[in-house]
Structure 1
Amino acid sequence: MDDMWSTKAWDDFKSSFQDCENGSRIIVTTRLSDVAVYLGSRSPYFMKFLDEVKSWNLFCEKVFAHESCPPELEEPGKEIVKNCRGLPLTIVVIGGFLAKYDRIPIYWESVADNVKLYANTENDEQCSKILALSYQHLPIHLKLCFLYMRVFPEDHDIRVSELVNLWIAEGCLKALKAKNLEETAEEYLKDLIARNLISIRKQGRTGKIKICGIHDLLRDLCMKEFHRENLFSVPKVQHIELEPGWYKYACFLCHDGNTQDLIELTEVVHGHESSSYLRPWVCEACKIMHPHLKRLKVVREKLKFAKDPRVELLLPTTLRYLSLKDFGGLCSISFSSIRLLWNLQTLNIINFHKNIVLPSDIWEMPQLTQIKIKEGVLLDPLVDDEIEEEDCTILKNLHTLSNIKNFTLTKEVLARIPNLKKLRIFYSSSNSFHNLALLSKLESLYLEAGGIYSSYLIAFPHSLKKLELSCCGMDWEDMTIIGSLPNLEVLKLRSHAFSGYEWNPVEGEFLRLKLLLIGSTDLRRWGAEDYHFPCLETLVLRGIKSLEEIPSGIGDIGTLRSIELIGCNNYVIRSAEQIIEEQQSMGNEDLQLHVSAIQHG
């Protein structure tokens, strides 16, 4: 039974398939993971994109049947297969198409350059019609999110965090009950992945999806459905006048009445730029010359070689998403008018070579959900004796504050960001971090501090799930502060986070820890047993030069699946190999060892 779309269809049919106990089986294919799980008597078999060898074998089978590929066709044939990107449907359609025509190398080269065109001309656009079923069966709340994928270039690695922010900024979704917009977006993404419309390209060590992508043919489907439903239209912009030398490129999202589309300006030639419609990030550098660009929601500017070292951004007050990137390192940004962006949700400033100073006006922008900068300073809230404390703006929506230097951790400041979930902060000198415990919603914390700290200077909220420390110089005896965190799943101790020669963990701590990374340290002896880390799945040791061995008890952790060693000494490597050998002798084939001599960041 091929291409089943619902569990109800199976429920209607299954009574016709009586079990005669003769060993027969029923094979069902579906594009929906939940249907596969519901139907299967065992775990479903998930089909993956074919690798080069399997793709070539399938192609040859369709084109040549039982014959071999002629030598003169092998090179263009493999290029055709490569451009099918592992999708069996495309390989079968192209192979069937070529089997009917003369085997001429120059013709095959033409097909290789236009795989998508040929895949959709044979049998009345066979590929498009088959893939279109996936879109037609989407629930209405997923259709807009899927169609939005068209704005990314072909074969583009899409960072999930950025995709989520853009979906939110563009109003593609509404919060589900008991879930905020970020959680809702992640649910939608998982649903699209389960329907095989979006693919996973990179996951973190804990399994969280970091980068996703969309197959070229599915992206083409997005384009066709987008225009078929007449949701967006493309303004015919050919040349845009910009102040010469200001921008490497700029993009903008324009709204014109009930229509909208995305324009990317990519080629700079003395202030003139041509346009295409590839990406969603946008800027309003040309608004004066194009007054029909009225309601911008998303802006990304890439600044380079400004004449005036201070570039004043003139942006619409309805802006929701602003991302700035500086390639040349010669620009600084003035944010004197940022308070006018009353609707701004995301402020993302990356790749600047100079420190960014964000004004205290930021504290009066209640719609902000995240502030992410390369490295900069956020000025403290303005103190006005005439303003009562209860009248201060509370940034209830702010959940991410990233890469802030010397951030003030007073009770008054932290009270204005009560729902913060992710915080990355850097300090150049000693400080007190005891007030961090006041952030009762904080789930992820990165702390880099120059100094030696003791337990009375640091406290963490019990809500933490991920903690990264660097250059704190804490003593291993203070590890109990971290080990007692009830929800901690990821702990990364980077360069000299702790100092001392010996660490003896305490039983009853780290009850939920799944990933432990220990970076450059002078640790020599580690007295760990399996019961110290009962849920550990991944152990990473990076740049460990003094450690005498990995405790053998680590191998007895029932959940452990991976030991990764990067730039470690031979004693550590040898002890890890002994752990693997011992576990394999006991039938544990799941535990893997990965060794690299080179440190990567």
Structure 2
Amino acid sequence: MAEIAVTYLLDKLTSLTQEEVKLLKGVKEAAAFIGDELEQIKAFLRAADQKEKKTPQLEVWVKQVRDVAYDIEDALDEYRLHLTQRHGNDFHVSLAKIIKTLNARHQFGSEIQRIKSRVVNISEARQRLIQGEATVVDSKKWLDRRQDGLLLEEADLVGIENPKKQLVSWLIPGPGDTGGKVVSVVGMGGLGKTTLVKKVYDDAQVKLHFKYRAWMFVSQSFKMEELLKDMLQQLYRVKRKPVPQEVESMSNDQLRTKIKNFLQQKSYLIVLDDVWHVDDWDAVKLAFPNNDGSRIMLTTRIAEIASASCREFNGKVHPLNPLSPEESWTLFCRKTFGDQNSCPPDLKGLAESILGRCEGLPLAIVALSGVLATKKYTTEQWDLIQRCLADELEENASLNNMGKILSLSYNDLPYDLKSCFLYFSIFPDKHPIDQMRLIRLWVAEGFVKEREGMTLEEAAESYLYELLNRSLIQVAGTSSEGRIKTCRIHDLLREIIISKSKDQNFLAVVRGQNVINWPEKVRRLSIQKPKQDVQQSQSISQLRSLLIFRRVDSLSLSEYSNPIPFPLDFKLLKVLDLEGAPLEIFPNEIIKLILLKYLSLRYTKIKAIPSSIKSLKNLETLDLKHACVTALPAEISQLQKLRHLLVYRYEIIYVNINSKYGFKAMPHIGSLRCLQKLCFIEADHGGNELMTELGSLKQLRRLGIVNFRRENGVALCSSIENLTNLRSLSITSAEENEIIDVGNLSSPPLFLQRLYLAGRLEKLPHWISSLHSLAKVSLKWSQLLGDYDPLQPLQDLPNLVHLEFLQVYEGDTLHFKAQGFQKLKILGLDNMDGLKTVDIEMGAMPLLEKLILKRCKLLQRLPSGIEHLKKLKLLEFFDMPYELIMTIRPDIEGGGDYWKVENVPEINNTYWRDGGWDVKSLERSIEGESSATTRMASHELPSYWK
């Protein structure tokens, strides 16, 4: 709906009326009037958004609201553009500039007055719609149909027996099982939560145990009074008695008390299906006595509700997962081909492609299968459906209903999150969505509202977790310490939000056409796999965001006559993402984009940034990661709003101290007071003066330094004491034997989570043991002497989950003491030339999941006590001695240590050969045979070694 555009605009209008800018008489008043009217319009839009079917008059009115919102935004940004151009860099404003500014004010004032008249007309039309009762919401009919759509038929159930057995076992009380319990089933819409729970509810064993049962559909728009009365009716029906007459006139509190008294001393099972809000659960739960053996089951799309309900009642959460590929294929064939239950060979490729779009979602598989079953079994028909799935979702009745079910989660979102969720449609299909990239884009777009005590990026991260909590997006990749690195969205949800984005003119997606017909007044444009001769068919001067997606490895300039498929003449542009574009020279057109907030030239071949970049006064993110830039102009220091400065590249090779490359920092870098991320500056260009300036960057969250020298230590320590917000610190020495002197740090950043020190250390910094927030520590080339224990300062860190040692210790023994490293999950030991033994006492590293041993030439036996690591899931050897590997081969005589690791699910033995990795997986079959070899390139190594 247009509500997103209106909400965004209201924030801008508020900012305008508060800014100290001289506007013509009446302009501020007109802007305030427009703001007041838009608040009323927004409330009406929210009510209208609940209507399943909208009248043509309402749809026309909504489009008018969206158009006027966009026109006001254009007028505001045009005016801001003139203000920015007026100031420039010259304090002596010429007469021509003064006249130009006055003209701009007059034009802006006139435009605001014209828009005010349009807003008045729209408000009058709203009143007519209200009088015509156009806002009456009839959701009951839809909810009834929705219940039928959620309940997949018994014949549609595949792979349900195991989760059903698990849930039944949780419901039936065992010996000594006291008190009530909640069992919650959580997952995205369409997974079959209701179907699964209904089968459990109807199970003979469950019916026998629970005499009093009731099934309640909660949904988004339920009424508490009706739900409680319905529950009483179901319970009295079991008793074969009518509901007492006085129930009809009872309040909600009285109804809850009535239910509680009824259920006292009874063994009951209550199902609350489709709970959307914690407040709803908090209100309903008061009706349930905590009887021994009683049970409450919930289904919900929202993880917070599942966990909250189970915390209070000592319950259990069952996350419902998508079907496996095998289960999906079985269901697909059953529903598409009926009795044949097999796919014709000529359709198998298309069938697998279409099925892949469903990603194991039972409701989607059944809906799509129903469509295909009505079509001719020809490749032409099926290929057409595959290519036009978005249109099928709107036009086909069964797919349309499925789309509405999946859309419920979107409709329930708070309005400030709807823009953030729609933004996922800007990324190509199957494209990994980097969490930090997404957060920086949201901030630049203006989607994120300020929250007290949070940076905008921290607020945006909370938005991301809210979308995860609501099962709308999924985690695709995590860092070793558990941070989200990449996320993804289900294919069909993506198709739905692409359709919504198109309807709302939120953004347009273009996939490689030679000639592009731009949508009218498009605000955001995602160009995916552009052809070399793309031409626009009309002007899109109002564009705010442009993202061009190419394959990162397609950097050959010879493939393109023009690396950017059209001129960058969008004066109102705020986001420009050219990641992977085959550029060698910085495009001059960018300098004219004065309102630009986000600029990414990541993975380009650009070597230099011009001094004219100083014109981009509003720039917040400059992303040059994996470009070829090695120095920045001094004028960068004039970009006072810069929050993220990423200028570095690295090479994934076996061992090379020069594998990470930073940039020569410009003078006065300390003036960039808003910087949160600065990676990676070269300490040998600027020296102690540069290290001292870093102390002014008090907003820094991440700092990366390369080419560090011992004499820089005192100045850097003094600066770090001012960086109280620092979360990640990386220091790499200029040479392998260069000492990193950071011992003078008396007050380290208390919230530091990641510490990377690559260089020689005389001993570990004394302050490291006080950093209780540390989750990851990576030490390289420390060369600590054998009489020093490097584990002692680290073993009691309460949140350390990842520890890497590379050429850290010259002694022959590492001893992991009992009760040490209680949270550690990943341990890597690399290139410890003198290391002969590793001892692990019982009770040490109880949560360790991954142990990586690499190039320790004298370590010829497994770590002593490795059998105590009961949580170990992966044991990885890189270029380890042949003698050690032989001790764990179950098929070779002398493999006497195999028993210590026989319960580890995955053991890999990897060797570096001819610039790549030969990976041998130790598979423990009954015959005791080892598996074949897999060949991997260096860049394919697991992330914990990158």
TM-score, normalising length: structure 2 = 0.53
* Deviation sequence 1:420-469 (CA, Å, 0-9, x none): 12111110654422333332322211111024326576648233221111
Q: How far apart are the structure 1 equivalents of 2:853 and 2:795?
A: 26
Secondary structure at 2:319's aligned position in 1? coil
Give unmatched runs, 5+ long, in structure 2. Answer: 1-271, 550-561, 649-661, 879-909, 911-937
Is 2:324 aligned against 1:51? yes
Query: What is the CA–CA distance in structure 2 between the aligned matches of 1:575 and 1:404, rounded to whole Å?
Result: 41
1:492, distance to aligned residue in structure 2 (A): 0.7
> Is 1:95 matched up with 2:369?
yes
Q: Does 2:668 match 1:398?
A: no
Q: Do residues 581 (structure 1) and 862 (structure 2) align? A: no
Q: What letter is aligned with 1:445?
A: L
Residue 530 of structure 1: aligned partner: 818
The offset of 1:377, in angstroms, is 1.0
The residue aligned with 1:247 is none
> What percent of counterpart residues are identical?
26
> Partner of 1:540: helix, strand, or coil?
strand
Answer 1 or 2: which has greater helix percent.
2
Cα–Cα, structure 1 residues 320 and 192, in superposed 2: closer, same or farther, change >3 Å?
same
Matched, 1:31 2:311: no
- 1:5 corresponds to which of 276, 279, 289: 276
Question: How big is the shift at 1:556?
Answer: 1.6
- Give the CA deviation at 1:183: 0.7
Contact kept, 8 Å, 1:402 with 1:422, in 2: the verdict is yes
Residue matched to 1:386 = none
Match of 1:390 in 2: none
CA drift of 1:323 comes to 1.4
Partner of 2:840: 552
Name the SS of the counterpart of 1:186 in structure 2.
Answer: helix
- 1:270-419 pair list within 5 angstroms: 280-281=546-547, 293-301=570-578, 304=582, 313-325=590-602, 327=604, 329=605, 331-353=606-628, 355-374=629-648, 375-381=662-668, 394-406=671-683, 408-410=687-689, 412-419=692-699
Separation in 2, partners of 1:339, 1:580: 58
Query: Matches of 1:218 and 1:429 in 2, distance apart?
Result: 52
User: In structure 1, how many angstroms separate the alpha carbons of the residues matched to 2:674 and 2:601?
Assistant: 21
Q: Is the 8 A contact 2:687 2:712 kept in 1?
A: no
Structure 2 counterpart SS, 1:415: helix
How far 1:289 moved relative to its partner?
A: 6.2
Counterpart of 2:355 (choices 58, 71, 81) is: 81
**Equivalent residue for 1:165?**
440
Whether 1:448 aligns to 2:735 is no
Counterpart of 1:389 in structure 2 is none
Question: Does the C-alpha gap of structure 1 residues 173 and 326 become closer, same or farther in structure 2, counting only changes over 3 Å?
Answer: closer
Instruction: Indicate the SS of the match to 1:594.
Output: strand
Contact 1:83–1:115 (CA under 8 A) maintained in structure 2? no
Is residue 260 from structure 1 mapped to residue 523 from structure 2 by the alignment? yes
Mapped pair 1:151 → 2:426: yes
Deviations 1:21-45 (A, max 9, x none): 7x67554321111222233452321
2:143 match: none
Whichever residue aligns with residue 526 of structure 1, its letter is L
Shift of 1:359: 2.1
Q: Which residue of 1 aligns with 2:166?
A: none
Structure 1 CA distance, aligned partners of 2:376 and 2:698?
Answer: 70
Call closer, same or farther: CA 1:91–1:234 in 2, change over 3 Å. Answer: closer
Q: Whose strand proportion is higher, 1 or 2?
A: 1
- Mark the CA change 1:508 to 1:37 in structure 2 (over 3 Å): closer, same or farther: closer
Residues 362-511 of structure 1 correspond to what in structure 2 (within 5 A)?
362-374=636-648, 375-381=662-668, 394-406=671-683, 408-410=687-689, 412-427=692-707, 430-437=710-717, 438-439=719-720, 440-441=723-724, 442-449=726-733, 450=735, 451-453=737-739, 455=741, 459=745, 461-463=748-750, 464-470=752-758, 472-475=759-762, 477-494=763-780, 496-501=781-786, 503-504=788-789, 505-506=791-792, 510-511=796-797
- Work out the CA distance in 1 between the residues paired with 2:807 and 2:407: 52
* Higher mean C-alpha displacement, 5-14 vs 459-468: 5-14
CA RMSD of aligned residues (A): 4.0
Cα pair distance change 1:62/1:571, threshold 3 Å: farther
SS at match of 1:317: coil
* Corresponding position of 2:654: none
SS in 1 for 2:778: strand
SS of residue in 2 equivalent to 1:202: strand
Task: Name the SS for the 1:556 alignment partner.
Answer: coil
Counterpart secondary structure, 1:296: coil
Are the aligned partners of 1:154 and 1:216 in contact in 2 as well (CA < 8 Å)?
yes
Name the amino acid aligned to 1:56.
Answer: W
Displacement after TM superposition at 1:11 (Å): 5.3
The question of whether the paired residues in 2 share the 8 Å contact of 1:462 and 1:486 is answered with no
Runs of at least 5 residues in structure 1 that lack an aligned partner in the other structure: 241-250, 383-392, 584-588
Structure 1 residue 76 displacement after superposition: 4.7
Q: Which has the larger radius of gyration?
A: 2
Give, as a single letter, the amino acid of the residue that structure 2 aligns with 1:594.
L
**Aligned-residue offset at 1:361:** 2.4
Match of 2:802 in 1: 515
Give the Cα–Cα distance (whole angstroms) in 1 for the partners of residues 624 and 417 of structure 2. Answer: 30
Contact kept in structure 2, 1:94 and 1:115, CA below 8 Å: no
Q: Is the 1:491–1:516 contact (alpha carbons within 8 Å) kept by the matching residues of 2?
A: yes
Q: CA deviation at 1:61?
A: 4.1
Q: 1:388 — aligned with what?
A: none
CA distance in 2, matches of 1:156, 1:138: 24
Q: 1:433 to 1:487 in 2, by over 3 A?
A: farther
Aligned to 1:594: 875
**1:128 CA displacement:** 1.3
CA separation of 1:14 and 1:491: change in aligned 2, threshold 3 A: closer
Residue of structure 2 equivalent to 1:128: 403
- Alignment partner of 1:179: what SS? coil
From the superposition, tell whether residues 81 and 221 of structure 1 become closer, same or farther in structure 2 (CA, over 3 Å).
closer
Instruction: Quote the offset at 1:416 in angstroms.
Output: 2.6
Q: Using a 3 Å threshold, how does the CA distance of structure 1 residues 71 and 427 change in structure 2: closer, same or farther?
A: same
The Cα of 1:161 is off from its aligned counterpart by 0.7
- Superposition deviation, residue 319 in structure 1: 1.2
Give the residue type in structure 1 aligned to 2:674. N
Q: Secondary structure at the match of 1:196?
A: coil
Alignment of 1:15-26 (within 5 A): 26=296
**Per-residue deviation, 1:64:** 5.4
1:311–1:141: structure 2 CA closer, same or farther, 3 Å change rule? closer
Contact 1:432 1:458 in 2 (8 A): no
